[in-house]
Amino acid sequence: MKKLFVIAIVLFYASTCIASDKDKVLYQIEKARSIIKEFTAKPESVNYADDITMAWNYIKIAETEFQKNTNILGKLSDQAVPTIIHYANMAEFTIRIALSRLEKASHEKEISRLEGLISDIKAKIKVLEDKDAEIIRLKKELEKAKSDITKLPSEISKEKDLEIERLSKEVSALKSEKEELNTKLTSLKKELDDKNKAFEALQTELKYKLIELTKMQKDLHSLGKLKEFLDVVGVLGIPVRTSENGVTIVIPRRDFIKITSKGAVLSPTSEKVISQLISLIKRFPEYRIALKVYGFGQPTKYEGTKATEHMAIIVKDALIQRGNITPEMITAESGGNMPIFPKDAVELNRRVEITFLTK
């Protein structure tokens, strides 16, 4: 009956999740593929052949994992979903990082060009300023010459007037050119500032992308450890429940505790089960343990909160003493009398739940 109940739960869960998980995985792979193709179409992408090859390799790994973990009914393994999505995301991030480097190179080239233009404009402005100084000097000479104009022949005086007029026009033209160059310099400085801001924004985005990628790699490592844990527990044949808080294994209470005339004591079968638990705790030291003992039915003397809490402490002490485990790693308490099996399954509802929590 216990096995049929577990199978029913699995089938119900699979029927509600298969489509969404599979569609999510396929969408992520196709999204990454489109980004790779779009990047490859850029002429500059020839300089990023290694990144493109790496991204396609991630896509191949994701597709291989998808095919390997899809059964003949089209059901994708739940445990494979995070791994496949990770490789699809790795393909996408590889191209996005390459695109960021490409854009960075373009920005640096444009900034170099603008800096060259600014240097040219500054040189032209210096020439204009030198001409202004020369004009001022000439004006002073002309003013001095005016005092002597009456002494000069009328022809010489006329030539001086023409020279003054010519120089005045040149001064006016040079001033206009200087104003135009100053306007252009202001525009180029603004454009350079905009480019620098865009470059800084790009660097910030790349920084956050790298942080996100590092977090994804840590999450994948945690999922790998969870899969290893579930594989080990699966070999032992112990029922398992998973949640956001951790992994819970459910063991009949009679495997740990025996009720005698003197009260609750460890049962003869407890040694084997406790040895298996100690092996799990030693193999996966990254988890801490939350131990709960559940009662069910009557009498309250053995099934009440006080009694089941005492049983939890007995099991905890056995784990600590036999496994040489630090007491702080294990918490023990009563789980109450809430059933998870049909009410006529009294012995199954009298259980010990051991939850492995991430530290």
Banded model confidence at residue 245, pLDDT cuts 50, 70, 90 = confident
Residues 47 and 74 in one domain: yes
Number of domains in the chain: 2
Outline where the chain has alpha helix (H). 2-40, 49-68, 81-147, 154-236, 270-283, 300-303, 305-323, 346-349
Same domain, 145 and 285: no
| Chain segment 199-236, per-residue pLDDT in tens | 777 677 667 655 554 454 444 445 555 667 776 766 56
Q: Residue 286: which of 217, 218, 234, 211 has the closest Cα?
A: 218
Distances (CA, A) of 343 to 10, 285, 295, 348, 350: 21, 36, 12, 9, 11
Rg (CA), the chain: 41
**What is the per-residue burial (b if ≥16 Cβ within 10 Å, else e) of 5-26?**
eeeeeeeeeeeeebeebbeebe
**Domain shared by 233 and 256, yes or no:** no
Closest CA to 45 of 143, 53, 240: 53
Residues 257 and 233 in one domain: no
Domain boundary among 208, 237, 266: 237
The CATH number of the domain holding residue 95 is 1.20.1270
Residues 217 and 303 in one domain: no
C-alpha distances out from residue 295 to 237, 263, 277, Å: 23, 14, 21
Structure tokens, 218? 């840590």
Q: What are phi and psi of 70, to 5 degrees?
A: -105, 125
- Tell which of 202, 222, 237 closes a domain: 237
Of 193, 212, 237, which marks where a domain is finished? 237
Of the chain, the percentage scoring pLDDT greater than 70 comes to 82
- Kindly state whether residues 171 and 76 are assigned to the same domain: yes
pLDDT score at 13: 42
| Structure confidence by residue, pLDDT tens digits, 267-294 | 999 999 999 999 998 999 889 999 999 9
CA distance linking residue 332 with residue 289, whole number of Å: 9
Dist CA 44 CA 35 (whole Å): 15
Q: Are residues 153 and 115 in the same domain?
A: yes
- 306: Cα separation from own chain's centroid: 46
pTM exceeding the 0.75 threshold for the entire prediction: no
Confidence (pLDDT) at 145: 64
Q: Are residues 243 and 231 in the same domain?
A: no
C-alpha pair distances (Å), 330 with each of 211, 288, 318, 325: 33, 6, 11, 9
Q: What is the residue-wise DSSP string for 321-338?
A: HHHT--GGGEEEEEEET-
Better-predicted residue by pLDDT, 131 or 264:
264
57 and 74 part of one domain: yes
What letters, b where the CB count within 10 A reaches 16 and e where it falls short, cover 69-107?
bbeeeebbeeebbbbbbbbbbbbbbbbbbbbeebeeeee
The answer on 351 and 268 residing in a single domain is yes
The sign of the dihedral angle between the CA atoms of 216, 218, 222, 227 is positive
Residue 73 has pLDDT above 60, yes or no: yes
Q: Is the pLDDT of residue 312 over 80?
A: yes
Q: Are residues 213 and 259 in the same domain?
A: no
Domain CATH for 299: 3.30.1330.60
The reported pLDDT for the residue numbered 254 is 93
Say whether both 171 and 49 belong to one domain: yes
Report the C-alpha gap between 305 and 294 in whole angstroms. 8
- Mean pLDDT over 44-48 rounds to 88
Structure tokens, 21: 């998980």
Query: Residue 12: pLDDT above 50?
Result: no
The amino acid at residue 11 is L
Q: What is the mean pLDDT of the chain?
A: 82
Which of 299, 317, 316 is CA-nearest to residue 263? 299
244: domain range? 239-358
